[in-house]
């Protein structure tokens, strides 16, 4: 994930592993053969990273076997709800809940620009899942972009919401 952020020293080690197909575990005394496929992601223009010396050229060509370029989430509005639903399904399994997204929340999700792409969507869904009442995520549960402190969560409100949600679950039992 974000291969372009890897320090040059670590890039050298990764290149060696890819070429030799051998690794030594931490604390190990001998190398072990591996058979691995690597999927690397980045949000940077890698030829430029190579040109400026921030990324090893030989590693770039080793990894650049089958490049797949995807548009930012803001340009794939049709993917927002299926991705959100998948993330919500995983949270529901972890928390033994059954939550759904209301139509006003769907409108809000598909209208937002998503500068943080799928990671930001995941965080918004996770926060909404925590705040959701009666198994419904509404537009009011969606809190976007906390990076500048605007829209930051009030701890007392979150705790009150969670307590209210727990009380509802106890009543349902």
pLDDT digit string, tens, across residues 68-118:
988 889 899 999 999 999 999 999 999 999 999 999 999 999 999 999 899
Q: Which residues pair with 101 in a beta bridge?
A: 137
Among 45, 63, 81, identify where a domain stops. Answer: 63
Q: Which domain holds residue 37?
A: 3-63
pLDDT digits over 25-56, tens only?
888 899 999 999 999 999 899 999 999 999 99
Q: Indicate if 93 and 162 belong to the same structural domain.
A: yes
Residue 24 lies in a domain: yes
Residue 68 lies in a domain: no
The domain tally of the chain equals 2
Q: Indicate if 12 and 43 belong to the same structural domain.
A: yes
Residue 156 lies in a domain: yes
pTM (predicted TM-score): 0.68
Q: Identify the residue whose tokens are 């090893």.
A: 56
Quick one: which of 101, 92, 44, 95 has its CA closest to 69? Answer: 44
Measured distance CA(143)–CA(90) in Å, rounded:
19
Q: Indicate if 97 and 145 belong to the same structural domain.
A: yes
- Mean pLDDT, range 140-169, rounded to an integer: 60
């Amino acid at each position: 994930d974000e291969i372009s952020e890897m320090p040059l020293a670590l890039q050298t080690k990764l290149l060696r592993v890819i070429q030799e197909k051998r690794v030594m575990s931490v604390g190990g005394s001998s190398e072990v053969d591996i058979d691995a496929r690597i999927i690397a992601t980045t949000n940077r223009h890698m030829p430029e990273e190579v040109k400026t010396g921030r990324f090893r050229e030989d590693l770039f060509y080793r990894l650049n076997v089958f490049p797949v370029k995807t548009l930012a989430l803001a340009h794939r509005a049709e993917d927002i709800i299926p991705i959100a639903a998948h993330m919500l399904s995983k949270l529901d399994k972890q928390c033994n809940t059954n939550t759904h997204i209301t139509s006003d929340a769907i409108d809000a999700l598909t209208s937002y620009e998503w500068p943080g792409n799928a990671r930001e969507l995941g965080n918004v869904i996770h926060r909404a899942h925590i705040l959701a009442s009666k198994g419904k995520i509404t537009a009011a549960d969606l809190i976007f972009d906390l990076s500048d402190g605007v829209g930051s969560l009030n701890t007392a409100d979150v705790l009150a919401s969670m307590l209210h949600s727990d009380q509802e679950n106890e009543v349902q039992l």
